Amino acid sequence: MSKLDVKPTPEFEKALEIGRPPNVAALFPNSRALIVSGKVVDRAMLEKGKCMTIAVNGRSSFVVRGALRGAQRANAAIILEIARSEGGANAYCHVNLWNLAQHVNQIVNELGLTIPVAIHADHYGIKKPEDMAGAKAEIPSLFDSGVTSIAIDASHMPDDQNLLANIELRDYVPSWAGYETEVGEIKGKAGLSTPEEALFLIQGLNAHGIHPDWIALNNGTTHGLEAEGEGIQVELTRAIHDALAPYKVSGAQHGTSGNSYERLRQIAEQTRTTKANVATALQMVSWGVKVNEYGNAMLDDQGRFIKEPGKGVDDEIWAEMVAYADKQGWSGGNYKKLNLPFECRLLGQPREVRERMVQAVEDFVAALLTDVFHADGTADIACKLINEAGSFDLGPKGERIEDPAEWTTEKIRARAASMDVDKGPEGDFDD
């Protein structure tokens, strides 16, 4: 795709002038990339209705480039993200929390794209109270680097500590930025979230004047490969979203890769979900690993990934990747750790190989946005919302309903102690 394929509209030009948050404008003063707050993308989905966009985990520059091209084809507002586990201080990806905005800005300007893009720091994990001090220093650095949206994920801790961590860290997130919170770790069918837990978190935040744009749930999915065969529980998701309706919070669907398109359509059409994370499927598609129609990687009789000849990475380099993984003892979902050591190796492939990697991602993303998520046309809606607001900041969706006096630290802890919850088994459930 070249610049000649895209014709900027007057609405885009106006949104470009006023719609970029101050951190983005300062970082890229001469840019024509419409990098926006996550709030803008969420509102565009709500405005269209019964749709959601992809939050692309940009584990490689190939995935980032392909996703942006696919979103342009669909004329859809999109989110590019990287999780703290993927691209934080202990990154296993070359693309990280501090350079993702640079990747997006460069590619959008190179190709002359006109879609609004939010830069999301996903699963910014707080696993214990001792993590808070480091988070207070690090979170501002993310926004200094072009992040426009963040997920504060303290779901690893008990409910009261999760809520209190969100309250304490909210002051470190700009008020204009997209904001996601999470209840229940993503553990598949174990430790499923409940309306009671979700209400506890959202009501407590509301009492403190905090209005999240999204809430992520454990509604039956897993990160990585979808091996359970059950996946997203639509009825549970709808029940929780219905309970949260007065607070106007949208849903963030994690663990999307491998779920049936019919189930994903139901999530888009029957719940308040506007953001659906896609990571593993795009990684596998870019590599040329054989996947089923839903993007779930297929395995041979020995449990190994099936590389399709002539697709994705060069076959000889794929053999190197497999040998490297074997040496490290990596298999299955742990193949994600190949992203960092092999990114530059893959960038050195012939142009036609690099292009087919990007094209595979572009085709997958364009089809998903248009045929399953129904997000086509939301780029124009996002520009309209920015222009109507006359600002990069669309403000909160909700208003304070809860009484702050009923949500003091002491009362939060007492409420949490009275809830009957099942968090599921202990373990490492990072994506």
Residue with tokens 């990287």: 82
The least confident of 129-133, 216-220, 389-393 is 216-220
How confident is the model over 315-336, as pLDDT tens digits? Answer: 999 999 999 999 999 999 999 9
Residues sharing a CB contact under 8 Å with residue 13, sequence separation 6 or more, in sequence order: none
d(CA 82, CA 116) in angstroms, rounded, equals: 17
pLDDT, residue 330, reads 97
How confident is the model over 340-359, as pLDDT tens digits? Answer: 999 999 999 999 999 999 99
% pLDDT > 90, the chain: 86
Segment 187-191 mean pLDDT:
54
Residues sharing a CB contact under 8 Å with residue 286, sequence separation 6 or more, in sequence order: 60, 62, 63, 66, 312, 313, 357, 358, 360, 361
The half-sphere exposure of 358 on its side-chain side, counting CA atoms within 13 A, is 19
What does the block give as tokens for 277? 């994370």
Pick from 189, 301, 205, 293: nearest CA to 248: 205
State how beta strands 250-253 and 117-125 pair.
Answer: unpaired
What does the block give as tokens for 196? 């009671």
d(CA 197, CA 217) in angstroms, rounded, equals: 10
pLDDT, residue 294, reads 84
Amino acid at 177: A
d(CA 370, CA 1) in angstroms, rounded, equals: 18
What does the block give as tokens for 165? 């961590």
Helix (H/G/I), strand (E/B), else coil: 214: strand
Indicate the average pLDDT of the chain.
93
| DSSP string covering 266-332 | HHHHHS-EEEEEE-HHHHHHHHTB-B-TTSPBPB-TTS-B-BPTTSSS-HHHHHHHHHHHHHHT--G
What does the block give as tokens for 400? 């304070």
Residue predicted with more confidence, 187 or 299: 299
Residue 144 predicted with pLDDT over 50: yes
d(CA 266, CA 198) in angstroms, rounded, equals: 21
**Residue 256 confidence class, pLDDT cut points 50, 70, 90:** confident
pLDDT, residue 266, reads 94
Angle, CA of 362, 366 and 368, to the nearest 5° = 120
Residue 420 predicted with pLDDT over 90: no
d(CA 67, CA 101) in angstroms, rounded, equals: 14
Question: The domain at 10-396 falls in which architecture?
Answer: Alpha-Beta Barrel (3.20)
d(CA 110, CA 265) in angstroms, rounded, equals: 33
Pick from 235, 283, 236: nearest CA to 257: 283
Segment 137-155 mean pLDDT:
97
d(CA 253, CA 259) in angstroms, rounded, equals: 11
Residues sharing a CB contact under 8 Å with residue 331, sequence separation 6 or more, in sequence order: 303, 304, 325
Segment 377-402 mean pLDDT:
98
Give counts: helices (H), strands (E), the chain.
17, 9
Segment 248-260 mean pLDDT:
89
In eight-state DSSP terms, residue 364 is: H
Amino acid at 75: N
| DSSP string covering 18-82 | H-S-HHHHHHSTT----EE-HHHHHHHHHHH-S--EEEEE--SHHHHHHHHHHHHHHT--EEEEE
**Residue 257 confidence class, pLDDT cut points 50, 70, 90:** confident
Segment 267-276 mean pLDDT:
96
pLDDT, residue 423, reads 56
DSSP bridge partners of 124:
152
**Residue 224 confidence class, pLDDT cut points 50, 70, 90:** very low
Residue 374 predicted with pLDDT over 80: yes
DSSP bridge partners of 148:
none
**Residue 42 confidence class, pLDDT cut points 50, 70, 90:** very high
Contact 391, 17 (CB under 8 A): no
Amino acid at 365: V
pLDDT, residue 226, reads 44
Pick from 110, 185, 195: nearest CA to 153: 185
In eight-state DSSP terms, residue 360 is: H
Residue 421 predicted with pLDDT over 90: no
d(CA 182, CA 69) in angstroms, rounded, equals: 30
Segment 91-98 mean pLDDT:
97
